[in-house]
Structure 1
Amino acid sequence: MASTSRTPTGRGRGRGGRDGGSSSLPPPPSTLPLIIEEFFIVVYEDPLVKKALPKKFADYLDGQEPTKVYLRATDCGPRLWTVDVLFDGQARMYLDKGWENFSIAHGVDFGCFVHFKYEGDDVLKVKVFDGTMCRKYYYSTTKIPTMKATT
């Protein structure tokens, strides 16, 4: 049975910390700036058609809506894939022209999870995970590490 962190009196520390003083909890979310750096999409429909990105990410870009983004596949060298971006007037953002080429080259298919990390300057770093939740790797000039069996 796992032990819990308790004081000598048998009571937990509670929210006040060790001395029972003021809380060190972060401020409520409504007072923090909106920063969306990472998100993912799940490919439920045709992987080659335009893809909707999360509304929170589109909201984050409000006022700075790019006409293009540049996708960089993690561990696939410095190549950037140019993808047109569409906004539908209802605060939804879509990856459009160029997404099909990126999808084909990186094996995006039904059931894939596509992880994006916003790097600024309209660049998104991308990782693709297949339906088994394992990451897909791509051809590059760097060697992919292999796992060694332990005995």
Structure 2
Amino acid sequence: MSGRGGGRPRGRGHGRGRGRGRAERSPSTHTPTPSSSSSEMDVEPDVLFEFVLVLKGDPRGIQRLPDSFAKYVGGDRPRTMHLREASCGYYRWIVDAIYDARGKMYLNIGWEKFARHHNLEAGFILLFSYFGDRDMSVKVFDETRCRRDYAAGTTTATTPTRRTTECCFFAANTCTERTHETCDDRPS
């Protein structure tokens, strides 16, 4: 007899053999929980797809998303995406997603407001994380390659305008949390 021998049958899925003890699992599905480790806190456990977009030209104009992401959302072809700046809690910006004849995906109506409100400029790098169901977070890195922290009311490299510092404060205190409402009456 050749092959694996008389060990455990294949395909059982018990452990990975990395020396960790086995924890008992309930019959329900496993739900990830946040870790207290600072290195693991930066990773969002439910991310299904991530990509980087470098803003070129007019950052408020229509933005083409990577072909691999358009292929990932594939047959669904969502008509809108719900964007939030990663440090801004629950507030979502509803942005229209459009497709050309070749299946290329673009952020269109609503993107200009998101870009203007977050003071996006050419050369900024955006890290998009897709969670499914049209939900995406965006981390903004400025021209110094430092992340802008809108929730704290400051950015690493520049002094933000009043509008930037109010991004999350206004959204969290005026808009209904955990909904996809828009707030077009934000202060200027």
Query: TM > 0.5 between the two?
Result: yes
Query: Which of 122, 126, 138 is the matching residue for 1:114?
Result: 126
Letter in 2 for 1:76: C
- The corresponding residue for 1:40 is 52
Within 2, Cα distance between the matches of 1:52 and 1:143? 29
Tell me which of 91, 95, 99 is aligned to 1:87. 99
C-alpha displacement of 1:143: 7.8
**Which is further off, 35-44 or 81-90?**
35-44
Residue 75 of structure 2 aligns to a residue whose secondary structure is coil
Q: Kindly tell me the number of residue pairs found equivalent between the two proteins.
A: 109
What is the percentage of aligned positions where both structures have the same residue?
A: 39
* Runs of at least 5 residues in structure 1 that lack an aligned partner in the other structure: 1-34, 147-151
Gapped regions of structure 2 (runs ≥ 5):
1-46, 157-188
Whole-angstrom distance in 2 between the partners of 1:100 and 1:51? 10
Displacement of 1:40 in angstroms is 1.0
CA RMSD of the aligned region, Å?
1.9
Question: Cα distance, 1:36 vs. partner?
Answer: 6.0
Q: 2:79 aligns with which of 44, 58, 67?
A: 67
Does the aligned pair in 2 maintain the 1:36–1:56 contact within 8 Å? no
State the secondary structure of the residue aligned to 1:63: helix
Structure that is richer in helix per residue: 2
Whether 1:54 and 2:66 are equivalent positions in the alignment is: yes
Q: Where does structure 1 differ by over 4 angstroms across 4 or more consecutive aligned residues?
A: none
Q: Which whole-Å CA distance do the structure 1 matches of 2:51 and 2:67 have between them?
A: 11
